[in-house]
A and B are shown apart, each in its own frame.
Chain A
Amino acid sequence: MQNLQKLLEFLVKSPLDFVIVGGFAAVLHGCNQTTRDIDICLVLVPDKIQLLRQVLKPLNPKIRTTQEKPSFLTSPEDMSGIQNLHLETDLGVLDLVAKVEGVGDFYSVLKNAIEIELYGEKCFLISLDDLIKSKKALGRHRDLVVVKELEAIKNEIFR
């Protein structure tokens, strides 16, 4: 059974440097939408991917985009040039992205990210404005529904 709450706690207590993005970031900002995965943006270079493998090992991570669902601990062998990793773990679905649509790479997302405290740890959450930009750039119906809610949240915060 998916437990994104535990997955998030696991991630924030890990040594990984990341920014929470996507639908779960919308939830953290106060949206009513439900999401079935956690999306994080980070630097996906070989040594960071190796660290990811070590950190995620207890969660039995698998690559969920292929039918065979190979273990992320051994696949892909070539770790260069990876832009996205779509994983299935024992605690739920975890998507890792090197770039956020409409915003840019990890450092561009981090520049405006807000620091929040979760489970006694500091972590980074994509800014409301950057999340709106990324959802608009994706442009799917479900993203545009989230955009409306995020704009309502922005209005509430600054009114």
Chain B
Amino acid sequence: MNKLKHVASDRSWEKKGIDIWLIRSNLKLSHEDRVAQHQNTLDCIFELRKMKIPQHAKSAKTARISG
């Protein structure tokens, strides 16, 4: 019965757009590991942005030429 209640609760969080499994995984980490995981995400975002820079530069140049 208790297990069923948990399944219902998980579904209700999913409906709210919350990844409850990811949160549970975070809660198992130490505070330092949560910070490290967050920094890894920031580093990935930074790398992705860096990869996009030449594309922006190219489109800006094209825009100037065509304008």
Contacts and interface: CB of A to CB of B under 8 A. Distances in A.
Nearest to B18: A152
B7 interface: no
Interface string A91-118: 0000000000000000000000000111
Contacts of A78: none
Given A3-B39, A8-B35, A34-B38, A156 B45 contact: no
A129 interface: no
A36 B17 CA distance: 22
Contacts of A157: 27
A146 to B, nearest CB: 11
Grouping DSSP codes into helix (H, G, I), strand (E, B) and loop, the B interface class, with mixed when no group exceeds half, is: helix
Contacts of A28: 31, 34-35
B34 A156 contact: no
Nearest to B22: A32
Interface in B1-48: 6, 9, 13, 16-20, 22-24, 26-27, 29, 31-32, 34-36, 38-39, 41-43, 45-46
A88 to B, nearest CB: 15
Interface of A: 1-5, 8, 24, 27-28, 30-32, 34-36, 116-119, 125, 145, 148-149, 152-153, 155-157, 159
